[in-house]
Amino acid sequence: MKKLFHPLVALVVLALGIVIVPPAQAAYMPTAGATFNDPTGSRSQQTVLMDQIIAAVNNVPSGSVIRFVAYSFDYQPMVDALLAAKKRGAQVRLLIDSHTETAQIRQLRSALGTGTSDGSYLRTCKYSCMANQPSFIHSKLYLFSRTGGATRVSMNSSANPAETGVSRSWNNTYTTVGDKTIYDANLDNFNDMLPDKTNTDYYHTVESGNLKEYFFPRAGSTKSSDTLYNILNDVSCPSSIKVTTYFWTSARLYLAQKLRALQKAGCSVEVIYPDGSGNQDTIYPEVTAALVKVNSNLGPPVPTWNTRPNDGLYVHNKVILINGVYQGVPGQKIVYATSQDLTLTSLRESNEVMLRIPNAGVYGQYLANFDSIKNNSVKVTSSSQTTARVDSSDERVPRDNSADPDE
């Protein structure tokens, strides 16, 4: 029997058979927890999230499966790693949004095909994979059945495999290793998306230990069926609430109004967003007005920062940080990390995912990242642009269905 464990080969028995893992790969272990890039830093600080994913891809052995869900894809080093993984016998399965076609997507489609018969493919959906009107595959999930010495690895991220997510924007990834419940939930979500069949009543949650994962789209027509509104509604003051987002439309203006009300009630609220002109206009002016316009009836303005003035860089994290009383329990430190922008489409039509992480250490990491981004931002002091029409809550508002301008 000792011959089976030759020093050049590690044999790993899985439910589907035997996977041969070279020792260099078997020695690799992905790091669980939070990771952040810095578009203002060195190239290695910019690429850290992509490097983390590529390292996992490079250590997937023959017979194992890589699954990606992403909104955009133009990062050539990731293409090279995925094609090398397929060449050595791994299965590569990609679900990429159809809003744009890049040379990298064409290269992957040519190599992987679009059919599912050989286990590798690149697939798209007409809109999101669960809607029949303009919407998007907007989750960023990187899943590995095995990589190195780890199984069931899930990377929930705000970052696409795209240069904009490396050198132009702040992003985060939260990695779970060996968490069967989270991995299986993400796997089920991937498989549920494949048929490209309308199901906007898909919303459900899964819990594993202290983690909770939320899957969208969510049916409904009022703020009572908005998960993020309900999260904010569960906060009691005095507490601290910090929000970063990329896109915020007036169809979810009530989220800004709720934050302002919490500020008035004695909570400490801060917001970071990116807003510019032209195709960089990602925050509706009435949202800004709800946050910062001076109005004694609304209470003190919400301190708000804009990343755009810093060389056009933008925050792409979609994060809510809560420190204080949550659901009546004091002393809570909770991170909500999501792919979802504050648009109606992202709530009701698009494929999105969110992870709740109630962990003081992880909260501290996200707080430090928030402060770092704030230090690279300009405080918003004007709400002069408040004349734009407030959009209807109708899910087919054209501007609310716009793609991310930068991606």
Rounded Cα–Cα distance for residues 377 and 305 (Å): 6
- Could you read off the pLDDT of 208-225 as tens digits, one per residue? 999 999 999 999 999 999
Among 152, 174, 199, the domain-final residue is 199
Rounded Cα–Cα distance for residues 62 and 144 (Å): 12
- Could you read off the pLDDT of 41-95 as tens digits, one per residue? 999 999 999 999 999 999 999 999 999 999 999 999 999 999 999 999 999 999 9
| 212, 179 Cβ separation under 8 angstroms | no
The answer on 166 and 216 residing in a single domain is no
**How many other C-beta atoms are found inside a 10 Å radius of the C-beta of residue 283?**
27
Could you tell me if residue 404 is inside a domain? Answer: no
Could you tell me if residue 403 is inside a domain? Answer: no
The answer on 272 and 174 residing in a single domain is no
pLDDT at 189 over 50: yes
Could you tell me if residue 234 is inside a domain? Answer: yes
Residue with tokens 């004694």: 296
Q: What is the pLDDT of residue 123?
A: 97
What phi, psi does 34 have (nearest 5°)? -95, 140
Could you tell me if residue 114 is inside a domain? Answer: yes
What phi, psi does 352 have (nearest 5°)? -140, 160
The answer on 343 and 252 residing in a single domain is yes
CATH at 310:
3.30.870.10
The answer on 278 and 165 residing in a single domain is no
Give the residue among 342, 276, 288 at the shortest CA–CA distance from 313.
276
Q: What is the pLDDT of residue 386?
A: 37
List b or e across 217-246, with b for residues whose CB sees 16 or more CB atoms inside 10 angstroms: bbeeeebeebbbbebbeebbbebbbbbbbb
The answer on 235 and 172 residing in a single domain is no
The answer on 173 and 262 residing in a single domain is no
Mean pLDDT for 242-257 is 97
Structural domain boundaries enclosing 229: 206-386
The answer on 223 and 184 residing in a single domain is no
Could you tell me if residue 275 is inside a domain? Answer: yes
**How many other C-beta atoms are found inside a 10 Å radius of the C-beta of residue 203?**
18
Give the residue among 36, 35, 41, 37 at the shortest CA–CA distance from 311.
41
- Could you read off the pLDDT of 353-387 as tens digits, one per residue? 999 999 999 999 999 999 999 999 999 998 654 33
The answer on 245 and 117 residing in a single domain is no
The answer on 344 and 309 residing in a single domain is yes
Q: What percent of the chain has pLDDT over 70?
A: 88
Among 174, 199, 224, the domain-final residue is 199
> What is the number of domains present in the chain?
2
Could you tell me if residue 381 is inside a domain? Answer: yes
Rounded Cα–Cα distance for residues 81 and 26 (Å): 18
Take residue 102 and report the two structure tokens written for it.
Answer: 């890049």
| 36, 369 Cβ separation under 8 angstroms | yes
Rounded Cα–Cα distance for residues 157 and 192 (Å): 19
Supply the pTM of this predicted model.
Answer: 0.91
Q: Cis link prior to 217 (omega < 30° from 0)?
A: yes
| 307, 313 Cβ separation under 8 angstroms | yes
Q: Which residues pair with 163 in a beta bridge?
A: none
Element (H, E) at 165: none
The answer on 195 and 95 residing in a single domain is yes
Could you tell me if residue 221 is inside a domain? Answer: yes
Take residue 68 and report the two structure tokens written for it.
Answer: 């990606």
Rounded Cα–Cα distance for residues 318 and 308 (Å): 16
Rounded Cα–Cα distance for residues 122 and 287 (Å): 37
- Could you read off the pLDDT of 104-139 as tens digits, one per residue? 999 999 999 998 778 999 999 999 999 999 999 999
The answer on 191 and 278 residing in a single domain is no
Rounded Cα–Cα distance for residues 270 and 253 (Å): 16
Could you tell me if residue 393 is inside a domain? Answer: no
The answer on 235 and 163 residing in a single domain is no
What does the CA dihedral 50, 55, 59, 62 come to, rounded to 10 degrees? 20
